[in-house]
Copies of this chain bind each other. A is one copy, B any other.
Amino acid sequence: MNNFQFYSPTEFVFGRDTENEAGYYVKKHGGTNVLLHYGGGSAVRSGLIGRVTQSLESAGITCTALGGVKPNPRDTLVYEGIRICREKKIDFILAVGGGSVIDSSKAIAMGVPYDGDFWDFYSGRQPQAALPVATVLTIAAAGSEGSGDSVITKESGGLKRGAGSDLIRPRFSIMNPALTCTLPPYQTACGATDIMAHVFERYFTNTTEVEITDRLCEAVILTMVKETPRVIADPANYDARANIMWAGTVAHTNLVGVGREQDWNSHGIEHELSALYDCAHGAGLAVIMPAWMEFVYRHNVMRFAQAAVRVWGCQMNFEQPEQTAQEGIVRFRRFLRSIGMPLTFDELGAKAEDIPALVEKFGIGDGRTGGFVRLSAEDIADIYRIAVEPKLI
């Protein structure tokens, strides 16, 4: 196990009706003048924005609304948010929504006290300060409610890039699983895929002697394998929604990934797809992550066999472990198929002829990525090609 530092100071408030406590928690965490950041019409129509606003106002908190966050959140709205926060002297940002809204809020939070362009933080610079951010979560997926991460897309040019800092870990996150019960099956499945991918990005590692984090990773995946089909079949199942929602948070605070090298190539490779085609991140991951597995599993057959046995319930083939490793990948794809996810470029609406452009945009040049297997531009092209026509399916 490697040395590590782990700091997850977010206060999680979980369960039915908890959104009505938004005002109490903003006050507790020092907010007096709040930017209420959200997405499209459904949060307004459902009455959620109204309930949260009422809770804030009852607590004597001033409130400025900024809606309009889109999936794959854009830099353009971030600039607007920064301008509003400065103008109104906002001291706290409350994100009401899923990962896109939260990530947009985090970008605004870093941008407000910074003299330069906030995009610097999505190009490798570390922030020195940020406004406090908190969330009322409406989608179990990105894990942004408990993480120090944010991903933003540059409108001009479609660059999709990430930033990370403990400064943008939410102060609190209000998580009412009932709010996710109206999410349609397709978006639910995209979220579930994202959660599982967050775990697998950490699971496939070259660090040895990491039993505790291996087992914690497997715990999250096993939960998703049990609970996801239940919410696809019955979207209003509160308990299954609750298990998925907490699994999604645990998957991405980094508790399950400490002390080990992580990969994250599937996320990087997928980001080019959702940036180019504006597809759902989870759907892109369903296409890319098994393709990545198919490309890399020979690097450590026993680790893939371990996942196959412990997570997918495969019988170990002791004579030919590679068969077991392969079967695990096949079962992962079958699971994704069973919850309605695409598995190929074609099913996603991506085009094989775009592969050179996708690789070009990934921008690795003659270098290599980090991670479980360090990938060259040609490797990345191979992974996209596997996603066009998978074998282990």
Contact = CB atoms under 8 A, between A and B. Distances in A.
A22 to B, nearest CB: 14
B239 A250 contact: no
Interface stretch (A148-156, A241-249, A365-373): A241-249
A255 interface: yes
A212 interface: yes
A5 B9 contact: no
Interface in A305-358: none
Interface in A204-257: 208-213, 215-216, 218-220, 222-223, 226-227, 239-240, 242-243, 246-247, 250, 255
Contacts of A177: 1
A7 B14 CA distance: 11
12 contacts: A1-B15, A1-B239, A4-B15, A7-B11, A7-B12, A8-B9, A14-B259, A211-B223, A211-B226, A212-B250, A215-B220, A215-B222
B247 A209 contact: no
> Considering residues A12, A18, A177, A216, which has the most beta carbons from chain B within 10 angstroms of its beta carbon?
A216
Contact of A15 (B2, B209, B215, B216): B2
A3 interface: yes
A88 interface: no
A329 B266 CA distance: 43
A242 B11 contact: no
A5 B25 CA distance: 12
Interface of A: 1-16, 18, 177, 208-213, 215-216, 218-220, 222-223, 226-227, 239-240, 242-243, 246-247, 250, 255, 258-259
Contacts of A211: 222-223, 226-227, 243
Q: Nearest 7 A-B pairs (CB), nearest first?
A: A3-B15, A209-B239, A215-B219, A9-B9, A219-B219, A1-B242, A7-B11
Given A211-B226, A218-B219, 11 more contacts: A1-B177, A1-B239, A3-B18, A4-B12, A9-B9, A208-B239, A215-B218, A215-B222, A242-B259, A246-B258, A255-B255
Given A215-B223, A220-B215, A5 B14 contact: yes
Contact of A12 (B5, B210, B223, B243): B5
Contacts of A18: 3
B246 A259 contact: yes
A229 to B, nearest CB: 12
A234 to B, nearest CB: 13
A176 to B, nearest CB: 9
A6 B1 contact: no
A8 B8 contact: yes
A11 B1 contact: no
A215 B227 CA distance: 12
A216 to B, nearest CB: 5
